[in-house]
Amino acid sequence: MSNPLGRFEFRIWGNHLSPFRDRLAAIAEPSDPHESAETYILSRATDTANLKIRDELLDLKLMSEQVGRLERWRPVLKSGFPLDSRAIVEQVFPNLGVAVPQITQPSYSHGELIRDLVRPNRDLELVEVVKLRNQYTSEKFTAEFAEVRIAGGATSETVAIESEDSAAVLRAIAKLGLNSHANINYVRHLKLMTGMTPRAAATAT
């Protein structure tokens, strides 16, 4: 079960990160590669809400705090479809920082959520992502190396380390030689890949 307080995360991006993948394999147990197709819902209003749909599950995480170089991400909602309208009104749209749309039914299917509530909002953007992930497990942390491709053809590689123990993440960063790299979360980097800009109100705050 996920820790309700969340996990500390550190993530880098680039196009030639395979040396870090090899270093990960030397300090943590690798799993077989796994490919997944996911839909991210990005908001111009915030970089602290990670909302995606994978395997017909809607998954929402929030960045609850920043501790030095690390970000702590907390699970807020994980639900299948149809999605209850209360979750849409109370959790999904408020955490995306946009106005709650008019709700006309007690629940929404995957398609209805996208068609009726997400696409009409100009502050939200859908990003279709295909990931090929290698996951790594050690006693103190988990990690991944992934190749990420978005609809339209842009690609990037990413390496991430996470743990409930911030010190374990920092030790792994040092072991992998990542101290000179910036921590850039999924939301921020997908916005860079798609050219999504903040809305005017978000820029002014």
Domains and CATH numbers, the chain: 7-74+124-204 (2.40.320.10)
**In the chain, what is the greatest distance between 2 CA atoms, to the nearest angstrom?**
53
What is the pLDDT at residue 152?
Answer: 84
Q: Which residue has the tokens 């953007």?
A: 125
Regions of the chain where pLDDT drops below 70: 1-2, 200-205
92: nearest Cα among 123, 145, 51: 51
pTM attached to this predicted model:
0.93
- Tell me the C-alpha to C-alpha distance, in Å, between residue 131 and each of 92, 103, 110, 165: 24, 33, 20, 26
Alpha-carbon 199 to chain mean position: 20
Compute the distance between CA of residue 173 and CA of residue 160 in angstroms, rounded to an integer.
9
